[in-house]
């Protein structure tokens, strides 16, 4: 299984994955696991990975709902929440990327090929935010500023 994993990573990550340290590879897989739990439409996965990289680059928290859902479902053993509340975002756990900056201590899912490719080759954008705009299609709205992010939420509620 491990041999298969490293062979597939080499295929997906290209030459970059071959020169990568174990710590760097671990970070990519953790990022891919978050992307795996966030994306719904494959063509948005690399954009999401880019958003998370942009946040990491400026020292901003990842603020990934998927990490909080992981705490609730996998660590606390509760059912998957339909909505996250402020009290959920305040759960004291190192996997909570709303409270703790940087990547969580480990993966939150087993990432698939789409998410791994996204983590190895994220989109280069200025986006810092995204929010689900179309639950049926799984499409997200990406924005550069928090104000635009908030406005997108208002637009979604109007539909």
10 pLDDT band (50/70/90 cuts)? confident
Q: Which two tokens stand for residue 128?
A: 């810092």
Res 87 pLDDT > 70: yes
Confidence of residue 9 (pLDDT cuts 50, 70, 90): confident
| 3 state SS of 107 | coil
pTM of the model: 0.91
Q: What band does 15 get if pLDDT is binned at 50, 70 and 90?
A: low
CA distance 24 to 148: 33
Confidence at residue 8, expressed as pLDDT on a 0 to 100 scale: 84
Measured between alpha carbons, how far is 25 from 40 in angstroms, rounded to an integer?
Answer: 24
77 SS3 class: coil
What does the pLDDT read at residue 13? 65
Average pLDDT, the chain: 91
Using the 8-state DSSP alphabet, how is residue 129 labeled? E
Strands (E), 42-107: none
Average of pLDDT values for 6-13? 79
Query: Mind listing the pLDDT tens digit for each residue in 106-158?
Result: 999 999 999 999 999 999 999 999 999 888 899 999 999 988 888 877 655 44
Q: Are 96 and 34 in contact (CB under 8 A)?
A: no
Q: Which two tokens stand for residue 83?
A: 């909505």
Residues 29-77 pLDDT 10s: 999 999 999 999 999 999 999 999 999 999 999 999 999 999 999 999 9
Burial class (CB in 10 A: 0-12, 13-18, 19+), 2: exposed
pLDDT, tens only, 120-133: 999 999 999 999 98
């Amino acid at each position: 299984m491990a041999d298969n994993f490293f062979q597939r990573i080499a295929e997906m990550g290209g030459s970059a994955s071959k020169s990568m340290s174990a710590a760097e590879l671990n970070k990519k897989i953790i990022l891919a696991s978050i992307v795996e739990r966030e994306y719904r439409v494959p063509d948005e996965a690399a954009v999401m990975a880019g958003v998370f990289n942009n946040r990491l680059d400026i020292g901003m928290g990842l603020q990934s709902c998927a990490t909080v859902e992981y705490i609730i479902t996998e660590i606390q053993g509760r059912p998957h929440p339909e909505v996250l509340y402020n009290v959920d975002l305040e759960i004291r756990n190192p996997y909570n990327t709303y409270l703790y900056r940087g990547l969580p201590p480990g993966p939150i899912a087993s990432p698939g090929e789409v998410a791994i490719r996204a983590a190895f080759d994220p989109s280069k954008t200025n986006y810092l935010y995204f929010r689900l705009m179309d639950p049926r299609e799984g499409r997200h709205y990406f924005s550069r500023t928090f104000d635009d992010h908030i406005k997108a939420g208002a637009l979604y509620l109007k539909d």
